[in-house]
Structure 1
Amino acid sequence: MLFVTIQELEAAINYWRSQSPSEGDELRLCPEASALAKPYALMIVQGAQRVPVDVLDDMARSAIQQFQKIA
């Protein structure tokens, strides 16, 4: 089973935010950063340091995998 760490999620969120900055009056995140922000927030609340990749939804899994290819 593959895992993604909270540090990797944070780096991926920052990467996607730099690629597609927040927009609109509400400063809406791009779809990739938004998808990664949900598991990131849960990990913070739960005090988790890593999460299995297979529990991520399709968008979050795709965003982290694309980031990992680049990083």
Structure 2
Amino acid sequence: MYPQPFAVTIAQIESAINHWRERRPAAAEDQPVLCAETRALADVYGLLIYSGATSVEYSTLNAGQRDALAATLR
């Protein structure tokens, strides 16, 4: 798919999170539950913010994170 190593930027992850939040919003406003794709990417996003990093190697993402991201990078 992508040549390795491939770095995914925090901006790309944020864009993917916003994509999934728009595409699969919470079913009820009083119960804001994130879809599986958003939750998977939120974990990576949070770790990047916590560590002060601006990117993550694509190869370190798990299958769910790669799938959620790949759907938005096409």
Runs of 4+ displaced beyond 6 Å: none
Length, aligned pairs only: 69
Q: How high is the sequence identity, in percent, across the aligned residues?
A: 38
Q: Does 2:53 align with 1:48? A: yes
> Does the 8 Å contact 1:23/1:29 carry over to 2?
no
* Secondary structure, counterpart of 1:27 in structure 2: coil
Q: Does 2:15 align with 1:11? A: yes
Alignment RMSD (CA, Å): 1.0
Distance in 1 (CA, whole Å) between partners of 2:63 and 2:54 is: 21
In structure 2, runs of 5+ residues without a counterpart are none
In structure 1, runs of 5+ residues without a counterpart are none
Q: CA deviation at 1:57?
A: 1.1
**Which structure is larger by alpha-carbon Rg, 1 or 2?**
2
- Give the corresponding residue for 1:36: 41
Q: State the TM-score, normalizing by the size of structure 2.
A: 0.87
